[in-house]
A and B are shown apart, each in its own frame.
Chain A
Amino acid sequence: MFTTLKNRFEQGCRTSAYPKVPVELASRYRGLPRIVPEASAELAARCAEICPQDAIDPVRRLIDLGRCVFCGTCERISKGAFVSFTRNFELSVAEKDHLLTAGTLPDLAKHSRQHFKRLFGRSLQLRQVSAGGCNGCEVDLNVLATPFFDLARFGINFVASPRHADGIVVTGPVSRNMKQALLDTYEAVPAPKVVIAVGSCAITGGPFRGSPEITEGLDTLLPVDLFIPGCPPHPMTNLHALLKFFK
């Protein structure tokens, strides 16, 4: 008992005051990219060429956040003269085409479906379905339950059964072998229901695009309400998305 109490005092309170107090991430964190419109066509083409995810449209000067894995290769080789990554972790959107961006995203709260806020604003129960990814997105969803983020204080929980859920959070590029189980889980959630795609795999197939074993985009199977890009999205990106969209 004494040891338990001693540890309790040593640990102290670790919960963040977010969203009342902003959170700042480490300087090397790569969040929302910004494109420099004045960059030369040659530089833009070179960035597009080297991008491992082919996420850059050099002509329209846009970057597809659904494909991007935020590796920062384009920023490095252009030395920031074409793309630079900001530390802004607010990356989520309600419409897939909003992911194609030059560096500004629409205000998520304004694009949220208002009836979701009314229905789920005070209590949101989510069922997570891991469908063929690398477990990275799951890692950074799981940490939302740890003391720093403490998702439950916002009335949002991950629950054990789709029958208890208001929606599903899908990670991974929906492998062929997981497709049916995913669709069954979706069916099992009572309507009205929410579908959230987390990570570049769920949005576009991510690093696995081109493989015949996966689906390139969850939205080709189910109606997606919220897209959270990243590889994996930082827990703050997830938290911001859930709070903005539902609160």
Chain B
Amino acid sequence: MTGSFVEILNSAAFHRPRLPHLPFADFRKQALDIVASGGKVVQFFGYTDGGIDKLLAVLRTDKLLVAGCDAPEVYPSFTSQCEPFHLFEREIAEQFGILPEGHPWLKMVRYHSNCRGRADVFGNDYKEDIPGNYPYYSVTGEEIHEVAVGPVHAGVIEPGHFRFNCIGERVLHLEIQLGYQHRGIETLMQKADPKRLPVIAESIAGDTTVGHGVSMAQAIEALTSVQPDAGAKMIRTIGLELERLANHIGDMGALSGDVAFLPPANYFGRIRGDFLNMTLLICGNRLGKGLVRPGGVRFSIDSEISRTLTERIKELEPQIRHVLDLLLLTPGALARFEGCGAVSHDAAGKLGLVGPAGRASGLSYDARRCFPKEYYAHLNIPQNPKSTGDVFARAKVRADEIMQSIQIIRSLLSRPIETRCVEGSNFDLAPSSFVVTVNEAWRGELSHCVLTDADGRILRYKIKDPSFHNWNGLAMSLRNTGISDFPLNNKSFNLSYCGFDL
């Protein structure tokens, strides 16, 4: 052995020459060993450095581990031995034209040509626009039929294509094919004027504006040796928790609507708006755009705003509790939730599910507790009990987290919050450096990686939205489930198309 994976700290700059650079065979063996013995993949991606193509992996056990290697043109796939690498290898194949041989599910991810100008691994010609040209898994036999849905859906939602293989009403297999929202964000982050970075990062996924904003800011802060003050960390934490609340509450309403139980759907729809308006009160934008910048936050929470927020939450808290009870104690709703779309603990582990979807299947990981940044190290993030993996479990995890987030915000608002607002950030990045940030956004583990070159320019900006892990969880939940339960399962995951498509 000529080296091994080493520990790195969340959001701490790392001098790139010190990154372990292993021979490919060692890199592969060690990565597989770590993940096979319970580790998970946080990031695994390709980049080009001084004309040489390289791979880099960030894995997590109870700590974060990193190592890299030179990228081979063709290599024996990791996925064939260890499932959590599945989508990461497909992404590398698409972005770099590197072939993971023996990959059991080697298909396009987002439909674009690779950055090296090599022949497309999937044989696509991107001179034409060809989304949807996809080798769907298909089931044959008498009475088998396929249902195709999307990319344009019936509601006001993002585009994606769903292909169901059914026997009667029962779904044998669902394949989800995305890429319609691909905007080329990673490339844009590398090429755009640095002053644009925060605005682009906040638009990776609008419902996770604060999550992506914070992840980007932490990376830039690490590379510029800037420390936001305690008040800024508290305000970011409040922003993250308000985002979690608005989305979880919206999801509870949507779940209710999908079992045709309309009172909670409407109440939660309205209450969700109340939380978006709290974010508006702090920063002037309902989604939190413009709140976070490298170096801190742009808006303070003065005593008047703090008082208003506290009062609003005090008024809402009993209402939320009552509506949650109304939904989760109504037999008609429970009959639809319980036992529907179960993802086993084992399957969730192999798919690498994160966030509420993972916790609903008994994967207790929460980045707020395991790799705390911002103000989370000072807070007590409870561990949700082991769960059943069905729609009910995904609803229950959200219901618990709603009440926990309310407590977190209340406790933060009871303390003095003082910060010096920032305007205009420093983008003079440390040269030859590397940083990975890990945060628990409302959908789960969100990670940004930034690599700089010898001149301090961004060499590679890699983004991983939690949905990257979780879409296959939704596909798995539909196995042997009635097709009419698809909307319910879909809402119970509520994944991001744009966060995945980048």
Contacts and interface: CB of A to CB of B under 8 A. Distances in A.
Interface of A: 3-4, 6-8, 10-11, 14, 25-26, 28-30, 50, 52-53, 69-73, 76-77, 128-143, 145-148, 158, 160-162, 172-173, 175-181, 185, 201, 206-208, 210-214, 231-232, 234
B182 A28 contact: no
B50 interface: no
Given A52-B199, A53-B199, A175-B183, A131 B159 contact: yes
Contacts of B111: 177
27 contacts: A8-B263, A10-B319, A25-B280, A28-B280, A28-B281, A30-B284, A30-B285, A52-B198, A70-B284, A72-B284, A77-B424, A131-B159, A134-B204, A134-B206, A135-B158, A135-B496, A136-B287, A137-B206, A139-B286, A147-B269, A172-B181, A175-B183, A185-B152, A207-B203, A208-B184, A208-B188, A213-B112
Given A26-B281, A135-B496, A141-B156, A6 B270 contact: no
A135 B196 contact: no
B156 A11 contact: no
Contacts of A231: 203, 285, 289
Interface in B165-190: 179-185, 187-188
Interface string B207-227: 101000000000000000000
A181 B152 contact: yes
Interface of B: 110-112, 129, 131, 151-152, 154-159, 179-185, 187-188, 191-192, 195-196, 198-200, 202-207, 209, 263-264, 266-267, 269-270, 272-273, 276-277, 280-287, 289-290, 298-299, 319, 322-323, 325-326, 329-330, 423-424, 496-498, 501
Contact of B322 (A7, A130, A161, A232): A7
A214 B183 contact: yes
Given A69-B199, A134-B205, A181 B159 contact: yes
B227 to A, nearest CB: 22
A130 to B, nearest CB: 5
A154 B273 CA distance: 20
Given A135-B498, A147-B270, A52 B157 contact: no
Which of A52, A158, A185 has the most CB atoms of chain B within a 10 A radius of its CB? A52
A153 to B, nearest CB: 14
Contact of B323 (A7, A26, A180): A7
B289 A71 contact: yes
A6 B319 CA distance: 11
Contact of A214 (B131, B184, B195, B322): B184
A28 B331 CA distance: 44
Contacts of B323: 7
A76, A130, A177, A234: most-surrounded residue (chain B CB, <10 A): A177
B131 A177 contact: yes
B129 to A, nearest CB: 5
Given A148-B270, A176-B129, A213 B207 contact: no
A49 B282 CA distance: 26
A129 B263 contact: no
Contacts of A181: 131, 151-152, 159, 180
Nearest to A188: B152
Contacts of B184: 208, 211-214
Contacts of A77: 423-424
Contacts of B289: 69, 71, 136, 231
Contacts of B195: 50, 52
Nearest to A180: B129
B280 A26 contact: yes
Quick one: which of A11, A146, A160, A214 has the most chain B CB within 10 A? A146
A7 B192 CA distance: 50
A208 B185 contact: yes
A7 B195 CA distance: 48
Nearest to A15: B270
B292 to A, nearest CB: 11
B496 A4 contact: no
A130 B269 contact: no
Given A4-B326, A136-B287, A207-B200, A177 B188 contact: no
Nearest to A146: B269
A179 B207 contact: no
A55 B159 CA distance: 29
A77 B293 CA distance: 15
A73 B111 CA distance: 35
Contacts of A161: 154
B179 to A, nearest CB: 5
A180 B207 contact: no
Contact of B280 (A7, A29, A176): A29
A26 B263 CA distance: 28
Contacts of B198: 52
Nearest to A3: B326
Nearest to A11: B267
Contacts of B281: 26, 28
Contacts of A212: 184
B282 to A, nearest CB: 7
A135 B494 CA distance: 12
A178 B269 contact: no
Given A3-B325, A11-B319, A130-B159, A207 B199 contact: yes
Contacts of A128: 155-156
B266 A50 contact: no
Contact of A146 (B180, B191, B270): B270
Contacts of B180: 132, 175, 177-178, 181
Contacts of A211: 183-185, 187-188
A28 B309 CA distance: 14
Given A135-B497, A207-B196, A232-B287, 12 more contacts: A26-B277, A29-B285, A72-B284, A73-B423, A130-B156, A130-B181, A132-B180, A135-B498, A143-B273, A148-B270, A176-B129, A211-B187
B181 A3 contact: no
A50 B424 contact: yes
A58 B110 CA distance: 39
Nearest to A169: B156
B199 A130 contact: no
